[in-house]
Amino acid sequence: MTDTLPGLEDDTPPAAPFIAELLTQALVDFDRSNIPTLEASRACKTNAERDALYAPYLRDLYSFLWHSSLAHVLIRVEESSPNLAAGIAHEVQQWLDAGDAYPEWVYDWAKSRGLDPETIVREAGEARTAWLAAEVER
């Protein structure tokens, strides 16, 4: 097994600066995430009000989990293979800069692992619709 990614030059920057960015953002996200109080949640009269109440918290929580999880993976890889971690960090930074390719890649990655993206998305949509209908009845 090689400890570098194909196509990367020898001057690929180390993973440490990207890991530091990820950890910094994770700390900021965690610090600003405040779960709404139960009283505030009970005061919501509609699903839209509840969604609006929880949206900032869920955004910050998701961002924290994303940044800290990616940092964790890169740190663990870096411990045994700094070159591989550098290559992965470089590749991810390039993908993030491109931005629009991720949905297609996720679809392709899922299919290559035997998952059915269309079924997953459809069933998730059906489950959300059922959940919202049950919430309206409450």
SS3 57: helix
pTM of structure: 0.74
Q: Which of 44-53, 94-103, 124-133 has the lowest mean pLDDT?
A: 94-103
Task: Indicate the burial class of 15 (C-beta count within 10 angstroms; 0-12, 13-18, 19 or more).
Answer: buried
What residues does each domain of the chain span? 11-98, 100-138
pLDDT tens profile 42-69: 999 988 898 899 999 999 999 999 999 9
- Per-residue tokens: 45: 């009269």
